[in-house]
Structure 1
Amino acid sequence: MGIRMSFLWRAAALALAVVLVPAQAAITVVDLAGRSVTLPDKVERIILGEGRMLSALAVLEGSALPGRVVGMLEDFERLDPTGYELYRQRFPALQQVARLGRGGASFSVEEAISLKPDVAIFSLRGHGPDVNDAATLGRLQAAGISVVYVDFTKNPLEDTARSIELLGRVLGREAQAKAYLGWHRLEMDKVQSRLARVKQRPTVFLESRVGLVPGCCETLTHGMMGLFVEAAGGRNIAASLVPGVHGTVSLEFLLKEQPEVYIGTGIGNPASLAKGAASIALGAGVDASAAADSLARSLRRTGMAQLQAVRSGRAHAVWHHFNYLASNPAALQAMAKWLHPALFADVDPQATLADFYRRFQPIPLTGTYWTSLP
């Protein structure tokens, strides 16, 4: 009897000890949509709402890219084929990553679920499923997939750092995220600290995706690269006319307002140049002379030569895809230097971009990412 009771007491004590051992706390993060998201214990399989996220993911994953990526959209290879090719050459395994569609409307929820991802990483807005796509969110959550929203386009200058910090927690790459955040603060401060004492801001017109469609003139204001104008110390002349993120203004408006500085965003490539398009060629695979020539040619469009900014040689272009890149402080520095050349005479945006690639990208820096009229 004594032996039996002793055994029962030991069994009860063991059971109690098991109960009292604290369970491993679930990791909960707050994403860029303000949602609390509980993550699985291990994040080993992820899908990307946009393929362009690979460049941001590389900040954290480095040479381990794309080991955890099991699915993504085709936007990266479609919108920036030369840049994507650099990643493909460095990581041939990208060819085996499932493609979930070309854009948001073609995103295949069924295939996404079949890949059994632990986490889906989507954008607040962009080319893939966004924060307004409640149906896709609901179906993925019902399948047990955690969904987190990041932002590299809606408010890139502020949300890029927040998104990298979030992804660092999601992927268990906090140290890599911390290193990037330190770099980001340092490079942003080179602009923000100096502009605090600037009183005169030149007027700027930002033309978006120059040459994509005939005519004039698509612009960005309260979002994407439209936000770079104010942050770089300029005054966006279309801000009061275009209340949203993007819109179109007339050539007559530009000729009447006469901005002091013109900045176009370039999405062209060597192939479009061969066809004689008016697009501005920038990005990987574009040399400096081709970029400058393409800007000059784009400004030969009707009426552009009559702009004060063009006549005074204050016409420039910057790569449109800085809308989506963690290297965007370099583009901000370039724009600040155009708007306030004396104030930023000692700032070297090209060195900033090279430093970003050296520290945070597993591919080399090649090509031209901004240009000016000679």
Structure 2
Amino acid sequence: MNYLKGMALALGLTLSTLTLAASVTDLAGRQVTLPAKVGRIILGEGRMLTTLAILEKQQLPQRVVGMLGDFEQLDPAGYAQYRQRFPALDKVVRLGKTSAATFSAEQAIALKPDLAIFSLSGHGPDVNDHVTLKRLQAAGITVLYVDFTRDPLLHTVRSVEVLGQALGRQQEAAEFIAFYQAEMDKVRQRLKLTRRQPTVFLESRVGLSRECCETMTHGMIGRLLDAAGGHNIAGKLVPGMHGTANLEFLLKAQPEVYIGTAIGNPASVARGVPTIALGSGIDAATARASLRKVLGRPGFPQLKAVAGKRAFAIWHHYNYSAQNIIGLQAMAKWLYPQEMADLQPEDTLRRFYQRFQPVALNGTYWTQL
């Protein structure tokens, strides 16, 4: 509080300028009355920290008192960067591991948070978990739903706006939204120059299962692929957000482009886990080698996309963050190399970290054969 007061006075402001909106409509369509003060926050997913950092910046850990343990479990190298920058994260209570089934409502209530931030869908308590919602509300805890997963294209901007209102960070939210929309417009303007959609197969969490192949369609990165101008060949096969397609389907369909999502990290590389490795701590050579290895699975060398070197990989955790626009730009450039020739997703990534993240850019977030 002393830090905030000092900053406010330095800017010629008073703390009253940091007051919260009285109420907001969250991403579940609920009219939510906000507490007069939000001093204690719990997160339904730990990976929300990267989005919260857009708004809280260097004050990130000051209000977070509890979160799910998915960040450190599923993106350990990324979490390590945050932990190094904010050692106080060690004191944040873990309310579960990596799933809603492990979330402890008892622990959450005991922390006496003012605000709980949950996702419409994801790894933690979601909009269908009515039991947890009622328990927290009965304890006087305000619950707010956001969404970067179910329909990221439609909901990212609104989610950041809602968080800005709830946390008294409207200016920070507005700055990021302007950045996001400007980068989105770069893709949309160039898509007007295209004539046909290339066919694409999107394989999710490559290497997690020995069976082929998990995919995403009407949600998550599947939505980003749509916005990038790709024709998802599994769109009619999988009516929901995600599902599976077999190898025979791929070999018959012969998509023009293959995109896999990467769940590997430096620790999994060291253990020899057969996944694509991207993200914090992964260099370009390691990333490309991991993609090449998984594309050596039976049947994949027979795909025209692989033989023609139109095979790519992208960081899976774009599914859970407001930085999804960066992944969208990378895919758009793969799909339309001529029309998107002057699009620079690497520069977008660099500027995102410089302006909106409290940690340095350190790693590779997409790769190709």
Deviation of 1:28 after TM superposition, in Å, equals 1.0
Among 217, 227, 230, the residue aligned to 2:213: 217
The reply on whether 1:336 has 2:332 as its aligned counterpart is: yes
For residues 6-25 of structure 1, the aligned pairs below 5 Å read: none
Q: Which amino acid aligns with 1:312?
A: G
SS at match of 1:47: strand
CA contact (8 A) 1:120 1:148 kept: yes
For residues 16-35 of structure 1, the aligned pairs below 5 Å read: 27-35=22-30
Question: Could you tell me which residue of structure 2 aligns to residue 69 of structure 1?
Answer: 64
The reply on whether 1:99 has 2:125 as its aligned counterpart is: no
CA contact (8 A) 1:56 1:325 kept: yes
CA contact (8 A) 2:257 2:305 kept: yes
Among 73, 82, 87, the residue aligned to 1:78: 73
2: CA distance, partners of 1:234 / 1:65: 36
Question: Could you tell me which residue of structure 2 aligns to residue 149 of structure 1?
Answer: 145
Deviation of 1:276 after TM superposition, in Å, equals 3.4
Q: Which amino acid aligns with 1:230?
A: D
1: CA distance, partners of 2:292 / 2:266: 15
Deviation of 1:324 after TM superposition, in Å, equals 1.1
2: CA distance, partners of 1:125 / 1:256: 33
Among 223, 242, 249, the residue aligned to 1:227: 223
For residues 1-374 of structure 1, the aligned pairs below 5 Å read: 27-102=22-97, 103-373=99-369
Q: 1:182 to 1:306 in 2, by over 3 A?
A: same
Pick which of 47-56 and 197-206 moved more. Answer: 197-206
CA contact (8 A) 2:20 2:165 kept: no
Q: 1:57 to 1:25 in 2, by over 3 A?
A: closer
SS at match of 2:260: strand
Q: 1:185 to 1:304 in 2, by over 3 A?
A: same
Q: Which amino acid aligns with 2:44?
A: G
Question: Could you tell me which residue of structure 1 aligns to residue 9 of structure 2?
Answer: none
1: CA distance, partners of 2:20 / 2:110: 28
CA contact (8 A) 1:207 1:219 kept: yes
Given the two structures, how large is their TM-score scaled by the length of structure 2? 0.93
Q: 1:71 to 1:307 in 2, by over 3 A?
A: same
Deviation of 1:327 after TM superposition, in Å, equals 1.5
2: CA distance, partners of 1:357 / 1:130: 28
CA contact (8 A) 2:77 2:266 kept: no
CA contact (8 A) 1:26 1:40 kept: no
Per-residue CA distance 1:53-93 (angstroms, 9 max, x = gap): 10000000000011001111101111101100000000000
SS at match of 1:347: coil
Q: 1:220 to 1:60 in 2, by over 3 A?
A: same
1: CA distance, partners of 2:109 / 2:267: 37
CA contact (8 A) 1:154 1:224 kept: yes
CA RMSD of aligned residues (A): 1.3
Q: Which amino acid aligns with 1:254?
A: L
1: CA distance, partners of 2:312 / 2:288: 9
Q: 1:232 to 1:81 in 2, by over 3 A?
A: same
Q: Which amino acid aligns with 1:80?
A: D
Per-residue CA distance 1:137-193 (angstroms, 9 max, x = gap): 111111111110000110112211111110000000000000000000000001012
Deviation of 1:277 after TM superposition, in Å, equals 3.1
SS at match of 2:116: strand
2: CA distance, partners of 1:26 / 1:196: 38
2: CA distance, partners of 1:265 / 1:226: 11
Question: Could you tell me which residue of structure 1 aligns to residue 10 of structure 2?
Answer: none
Pick which of 155-164 and 43-52 moved more. Answer: 155-164
SS at match of 1:364: coil
Deviation of 1:25 after TM superposition, in Å, equals 11
2: CA distance, partners of 1:319 / 1:142: 38
Question: Could you tell me which residue of structure 1 aligns to residue 14 of structure 2?
Answer: none
Long gaps (5+) in structure 1: 1-23
SS at match of 2:46: coil
1: CA distance, partners of 2:197 / 2:147: 28
Q: 1:99 to 1:200 in 2, by over 3 A?
A: same
2: CA distance, partners of 1:112 / 1:150: 18
Q: 1:43 to 1:301 in 2, by over 3 A?
A: same
- Over the matched positions of the two proteins, sequence identity in percent amounts to 63
Deviation of 1:26 after TM superposition, in Å, equals 7.6
Per-residue CA distance 1:226-245 (angstroms, 9 max, x = gap): 11221111100000001111
Q: Which amino acid aligns with 2:88?
A: A
Given the two structures, how large is their TM-score scaled by the length of structure 1? 0.92
1: CA distance, partners of 2:143 / 2:206: 35
2: CA distance, partners of 1:27 / 1:87: 31
Deviation of 1:286 after TM superposition, in Å, equals 0.4
2: CA distance, partners of 1:307 / 1:276: 25
Q: 1:180 to 1:303 in 2, by over 3 A?
A: same
